[in-house]
């Protein structure tokens, strides 16, 4: 019996995405629950599993745009019991001893392709050959950055598929970034060509300089299709600037107080709660305090209405290899410093492992982004629609400031608040950011509500 493999529903607001890669080869026998393909949407990336066992027939190639409900393949369930069947490899690129690669013609769909044997003497003879185009984007990026020959890296994924961990393990080996030549391979010896006819150059420094040929610069261009997530990020950034009257106000704060408090309590804090005390929890607490005082910054515009939530769901921007995502810290006003630090750590790990769910990303009434971890001194954060405010943190720099008519050196940070001027007036925005500064410079305010 033939069972259709369809793109599943993953959320109300998601209508489609990109079939990034197949985890099983065309013609491979899979069991129920095995990973079939990876689907990347504008919000999440998930692995779709086989609902039943059988022989896989791929109908839509990796890299294709798909919509919810599309049939991308099928499973012949009569083949489910064939335990000794060898999965057919995807179309590969065989590297020969010459300087150029030879690409075989693609096999017809639904046809089992016999394994390809590499040329005799190659060290990767026992390794599954892999074409760069078949690799997951993050894996392909690692391979290209370190000039690795993908065919020399053993794959431990489903069907021998190459994973990021396989590449990192290969890079940990000495000389990993240098492609290994085939066993027994020797560079061809060319007979020396006859010397060119002797030409007497003109006398003079200009002529002497002209006799040296300058090296030719590499002017090649590469083109890569934007991922679904990156396309969505681009759309939302343009949307934020075209639909909101975005304005940014700046301030600076002295980090001495919060750094002294953190240094005094960080060891006891980590022993008790099992998590390190960072700066982000102070800024989340300060943001909640300021949002309570200036509720319009926690609001949004829908049509001709102002929607003002009674809760405080703070999004914390996390950078991943696929792009920037903003998982949401729910009910931040009800969480302790330890709760905030633990949940931020969990969300950050899920983001980098591409395991965030729609629930992790949906909603959010205010956002915080920290460009300081990359060395940014000052920047203008862009709103995350439909939110009306976003706080930008930056690098901590020791510099001279005036304190009571004295010049002292203090660890200083610039902070920025971008806001929707349609809803938030300049007075409220400046006062909001000033309250952030007051709470971080004197963190005891957060405990005493002063």
Domain 246-448 is classified in which CATH homologous superfamily?
Chloramphenicol acetyltransferase-like domain (3.30.559.10)
Q: Which of 42, 425, 428, 449 is catalytic?
A: 425
Is 246-448 in the same CATH topology as 2-79? no
What does pLDDT average to over the chain? 79
What is the torsion angle, in degrees rounded to the nearest 10, for the CA atoms of residue 74, residue 78, residue 80 and residue 81? -170
DSSP per-residue codes, 196-213: PPP--PPSSHHHHHHTSP
Start-end of H helices in 294-379? 337-352, 358-361
**Catalytic residue check, 421:** yes
- The confidence band for 175, taking pLDDT boundaries of 50, 70 and 90, is low
Predicted confidence at residue 352, as pLDDT, reads: 85
**Catalytic residue check, 134:** no
pTM of structure:
0.59
Residue in 95, 135, 147 with CA at minimum distance from that of residue 116: 95
Predicted confidence at residue 323, as pLDDT, reads: 73
Q: Which of 146, 273, 421, 428 is catalytic?
A: 421
pLDDT above 70 coverage of the chain, percent: 75
- The confidence band for 213, taking pLDDT boundaries of 50, 70 and 90, is low
Predicted confidence at residue 176, as pLDDT, reads: 56
Is residue 108 pLDDT above 80, yes or no? no
Q: 110-123 as b/e, with b when 16 or more CB fall inside 10 Å? A: eeebeeeebeeebb
Find which of 42-56, 97-111, 134-148, 354-368 is predicted with most confidence, using mean pLDDT: 354-368
Is residue 151 pLDDT above 70, yes or no? yes
Find which of 75-79, 226-230, 301-305 is predicted with most confidence, using mean pLDDT: 301-305
Predicted confidence at residue 450, as pLDDT, reads: 66
Find which of 15-24, 132-141, 386-395 is predicted with most confidence, using mean pLDDT: 386-395
Average pLDDT of the segment spanning 71-97: 58
Is residue 172 pLDDT above 90, yes or no? no
Q: Contact 58/22 with Cβ under 8 angstroms?
A: yes
The tokens of 172 are what? 């940990």
Residue in 30, 50, 38, 277 with CA at minimum distance from that of residue 164: 38
Average pLDDT of the segment spanning 219-225: 87
Domain ranges in the chain are 2-79, 117-171, 246-448
- The confidence band for 167, taking pLDDT boundaries of 50, 70 and 90, is confident
Q: Which fold would CATH assign to domain 117-171?
A: Dihydrolipoamide Transferase (4.10.320)
DSSP per-residue codes, 148-160: --GGGSPP-SGGG
CA 259 to chain centre: 30
Average pLDDT of the segment spanning 243-265: 94
Predicted confidence at residue 286, as pLDDT, reads: 97
More confident residue, 352 or 193: 352
Which CATH code fits 2-79? Answer: 2.40.50.100
Predicted confidence at residue 239, as pLDDT, reads: 78
Least confident range of 29-38, 179-188, 241-250: 179-188
Average pLDDT of the segment spanning 380-395: 94
């Amino acid at each position: 019996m033939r069972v259709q493999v369809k793109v599943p529903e993953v959320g109300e607001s998601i209508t489609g995405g990109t079939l990034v890669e197949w985890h099983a080869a065309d013609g491979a026998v899979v069991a129920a629950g095995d990973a079939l393909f990876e689907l990347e949407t504008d919000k999440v990336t998930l692995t779709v599993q086989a609902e039943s066992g059988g022989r896989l027939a791929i109908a839509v190639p990796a890299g294709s745009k798909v919509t919810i409900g599309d049939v991308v393949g099928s499973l012949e369930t009569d083949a489910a019991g064939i335990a000794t069947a060898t999965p057919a490899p995807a179309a590969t690129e065989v590297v020969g001893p010459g300087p150029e690669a030879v690409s075989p013609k693609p096999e017809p769909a639904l046809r089992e392709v016999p394994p390809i044997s590499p040329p005799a003497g190659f060290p990767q003879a026992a390794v599954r050959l892999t074409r760069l185009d078949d690799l997951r984007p993050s894996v392909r990026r690692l391979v290209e950055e370190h000039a690795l020959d993908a065919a020399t890296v053993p794959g431990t994924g489903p069907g021998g598929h190459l994973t990021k961990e396989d590449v990192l393990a290969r890079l940990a080996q000495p000389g990993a970034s240098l492609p290994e030549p085939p066993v027994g391979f020797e560079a061809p010896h060319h007979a020396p060509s006859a010397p060119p006819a002797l030409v007497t150059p003109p006398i003079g420094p200009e002529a002497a300089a002209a006799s040296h040929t300058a090296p030719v610069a590499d002017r090649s261009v590469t083109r890569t299709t934007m991922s679904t997530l990156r396309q969505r990020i681009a759309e939302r950034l343009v949307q934020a600037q075209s639909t909101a009257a975005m304005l940014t106000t700046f301030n600076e704060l002295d980090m001495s107080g919060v750094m002294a408090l953190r240094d005094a309590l960080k060891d006891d804090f980590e022993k008790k709660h099992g998590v390190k005390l960072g700066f982000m929890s102070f800024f989340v607490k300060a943001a909640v305090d300021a949002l309570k005082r200036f509720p319009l910054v926690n609001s949004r515009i829908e049509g001709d209405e102002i929607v003002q939530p009674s809760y405080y769901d703070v999004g914390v921007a996390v950078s991943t290899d696929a792009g920037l995502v903003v998982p949401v810290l729910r009910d931040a006003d009800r969480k302790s410093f330890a709760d905030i630090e633990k949940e931020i750590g969990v969300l950050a790990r899920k983001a980098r492992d591409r395991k965030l769910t729609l629930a992790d990303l949906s909603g959010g009434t205010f956002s915080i982004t920290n460009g300081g971890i990359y060395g940014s001194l000052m920047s203008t954060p862009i709103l995350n629609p439909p939110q009306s405010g976003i706080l930008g943190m930056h690098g901590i720099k020791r510099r001279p400031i005036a304190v009571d008519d004295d010049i002292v050196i203090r660890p200083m940070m610039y902070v920025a608040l971008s806001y929707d001027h349609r809803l938030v007036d300049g007075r409220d925005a400046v006062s909001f950011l000033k309250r952030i500064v007051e709470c971080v410079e004197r963190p005891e305010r957060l405990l005493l509500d002063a």
